[in-house]
Amino acid sequence: MLAKVLSASYLGVEGYPVVVEVDISSGLPAFELVGLPNTAIREARERVRSALKNSPYPFPLQRITINLAPADIPKQGSYFDLPIAIGILAAQNLLPTEPLSNYACVGELSLDGKIQPIRGALAMALTIRDIGLKGLILPKANYDEAQAVKDIQLVPVSNLEEVVDFFRTGQIQYPDLKTPLPTPPQGTDLATIKGQHFAKRGLEIAAAGGHNILMVGPPGSGKTLLAKAIPSILPPLSEEESLEVTRIHSIAGIIDHKRGLITQRPFRQPHHNITPAALIGGGRIPIPGEISLAHHGVLFLDEMTEFNPNLLDQLRQPLEMGQVLITRNQYRLTFPAQFILVGAANPCKCGFYGDPVNNCTCSPAEVKRYFQRISGPLLDRIDMQIQVSRVTGDELFSSMQPESSSTVRARVQQAREIQLQRFRSTVFKLNSQIPQSLIETYCPLTTKAQKILARAMDTLELTARGFHQILKIARTIADLRQAEFIEPQDIAEAIQYRSFERLYK
């Protein structure tokens, strides 16, 4: 007999429906899987066999053929275990057929019939809702994650017997409502960092406008500590952003199922020995890389000059487009990658170029060669480039209390709300995302500000991209003081964050 069970899978960060077809026929006992399954799916034969035998259900000693349709898309993961087991039972007339046409199911089976959590549950729930099915049967551990999907019935189950009972009776025991675990505060509080007023101001502007920033300074000047403070001044994710981030992290398998949706902006800090596939995304069946895991958050590259220059150059397209395109023979996948790039680097190999206390032992050629590991085109895409000086003794012992992250975050939140209102009829939300064709529209300058910017263009030998980035930074500075027009002081401050690169020409 033939039975069909609805399920789902994902490719990239998008889900798609899958029909699990099960045929049981006379012949020598066999268990065949077709439909481009990977190793994990082929191993489902043994998991399903043991799960059925260790539950009160028979496993047929006949020829079993499983087809995962559509057959032309590669499939991965162990979440087809449950629909395969249900299909085998349905093909033996042990389950009613009507519920099978209204509900999809996903889940990994352990050998004793228990259902284990899976990756990508949120993406699958969205897919099942979009194709108009009544509900999704999924592991109980994934229930909190998928609850954000509206207009669909979620059926959380913990073992195979609960699934069979639901198909037969329509009844399910839902988990008790519980308050999600509180998310621990992210990042270092700025109040704990002495001095560094210029760098802190740069971080505030970067957070408010979504600008990329590179901090360069001697060892021990506090670059890493400052970078780790950025999450503490960023506003929480919106509901739409939270769904996007949670979906990506769920597919990558790094979500905390006890906390449900991710509400705080991600902060990713890859090691400089990371591979291209791990940073950008990839694999035989591509999965998100670090730049996609940092979507709507921060990608921090500590010791940026230690990264492979060819690897760094692969960031150019994601920084420009806010996404990364990965091509395979059969398909092209797009991964979202809208993040704030935060880089930290020493100014030279010894680390003391330009330091007033320690003498630099590098020759001018060595200094230039060292920093050329960050290519000009990439450096041009980093909106803000600031020098971080070592903290003085007076600053360390100062009785003046630095501003807290909560105070700065309030200003950042206010500036972002101004941007949301300004860009409400567009597809972008932040000043850093303003396309070149609309800069004049959204970045109006006073006459004096225009004159200052014109002089800076010639003096600093700015590229067209550098010119536009100064305007975007100045727009953010004006938003932080809630001003409609960009004034001379906004341009003057913005120029400070673009003059650093002259040191390495």
Using a cut of 0.85, tell me whether the model's pTM lies above it: yes
| 358 pLDDT more than 90 | no
Question: pLDDT value at position 264?
Answer: 93
Helix H or strand E encompassing 4: strand 2-11
Domain boundaries, the chain: 2-169, 190-426, 434-505
| 400 pLDDT more than 60 | yes
Higher pLDDT, residue 84 or 72: 84
Q: CATH for 434-505?
A: 1.10.8
Question: pLDDT value at position 346?
Answer: 92
Helix 81-91 and helix 44-53, axial crossing angle in degrees, nearest 10: 60
The residue written with tokens 């800090």 in the block is 269
- What is the Cα–Cα distance from 55 to 197, expressed in whole angstroms? 65
Mean pLDDT is lowest, of 204-208, 300-304, 383-387, 496-500, for 496-500
Higher pLDDT, residue 264 or 357: 264
Question: pLDDT value at position 90?
Answer: 95
Report whether 126 contacts 173 (CB < 8 A). no
- What is the Cα–Cα distance from 211 to 180, expressed in whole angstroms? 32
| 290 pLDDT more than 60 | yes
Report whether 305 contacts 233 (CB < 8 A). no
Report whether 296 contacts 265 (CB < 8 A). yes
Question: pLDDT value at position 392?
Answer: 78
Side chain identity at 448, as an amino acid letter?
A: K
Mean of pLDDT over the chain: 91
Question: pLDDT value at position 499?
Answer: 63
Helix 464-480 and helix 488-496, axial crossing angle in degrees, nearest 10: 120
Q: Give the pLDDT confidence of 166-188 residue by residue, as tens digits.
A: 999 988 887 765 555 556 667 88
Mean pLDDT is lowest, of 35-44, 102-111, 113-122, 244-253, for 35-44
In Å, how far are 200, 251, 286, 303, 462 from 280, measured between CA atoms?
29, 15, 10, 18, 29
- What is the Cα–Cα distance from 8 to 255, expressed in whole angstroms? 19
Q: Give the pLDDT confidence of 421-477 residue by residue, as tens digits.
A: 999 999 999 999 999 999 999 999 999 999 999 998 888 777 788 889 999 999 999
Side chain identity at 211, as an amino acid letter?
A: H
Give the model's confidence band at 67: pLDDT under 50 very low, under 70 low, under 90 confident, else very high.
very high
Exposure string over 350-380, b if 16+ CB within 10 A, otherwise e: bbbbebeeeebebeeeebeebbeebeeebbb
- What is the Cα–Cα distance from 155 to 158, expressed in whole angstroms? 10
| 503 pLDDT more than 60 | no
| 72 pLDDT more than 90 | no
Helix H or strand E encompassing 415: helix 405-422
The string of DSSP codes covering 369-401 is HHHTTS-HHHHHH-SEEEE-PPPPHHHHT--SP
- What is the Cα–Cα distance from 9 to 466, expressed in whole angstroms? 43
Report whether 215 contacts 302 (CB < 8 A). no
Report whether 34 contacts 65 (CB < 8 A). yes
Mean pLDDT is lowest, of 80-94, 222-236, 369-383, for 369-383
Report the candidate in 434, 464, 431 with the shortest Cα–Cα distance to residue 206.
431
132 Cβ contact partners less than 8 Å away, ≥ 6 residues apart: none
Average pLDDT over residues 229-244: 95
Side chain identity at 377, as an amino acid letter?
A: P
The string of DSSP codes covering 423-475 is TTTSS--SGGG--GGGHHHH--B-HHHHHHHHHHHHHTT--HHHHHHHHHHHH
Question: pLDDT value at position 260?
Answer: 81
Whole-number percent of the chain with pLDDT over 70? 97
The string of DSSP codes covering 93-156 is T-S-STGGGTEEE--EEPTTSBEE--S-HHHHHHHHHHTT-SEEEEEGGGHHHHTT--SSEEEE
Report the candidate in 114, 111, 45, 41 with the shortest Cα–Cα distance to residue 75.
41
Average pLDDT over residues 487-491: 96
Classify domain 190-426 by CATH architecture.
3-Layer(aba) Sandwich (3.40)
Question: pLDDT value at position 1?
Answer: 82
| 505 pLDDT more than 80 | no
Question: pLDDT value at position 393?
Answer: 77
Report whether 333 contacts 286 (CB < 8 A). yes
Give the model's confidence band at 486: pLDDT under 50 very low, under 70 low, under 90 confident, else very high.
very high
Q: Give the pLDDT confidence of 136-153 residue by residue, as tens digits.
A: 999 999 999 999 899 999
3-state secondary structure of 34: strand
Whole-number percent of the chain with pLDDT over 90? 70
Average pLDDT over residues 196-212: 96
Q: Give the pLDDT confidence of 78-111 residue by residue, as tens digits.
A: 999 999 999 999 999 999 988 899 999 999 999 9
Give the model's confidence band at 216: pLDDT under 50 very low, under 70 low, under 90 confident, else very high.
very high
Give the model's confidence band at 76: pLDDT under 50 very low, under 70 low, under 90 confident, else very high.
confident
Higher pLDDT, residue 1 or 438: 438
Report the candidate in 257, 265, 254 with the shortest Cα–Cα distance to residue 298.
265
The string of DSSP codes covering 304-372 is GGGS-HHHHHTTHHHHHHSEEEEE-SS-EEEEE---EEEEEE-SSSSS-TT-SSSPP-S-HHHHHHHHT
Classify domain 2-169 by CATH architecture.
2-Layer Sandwich (3.30)
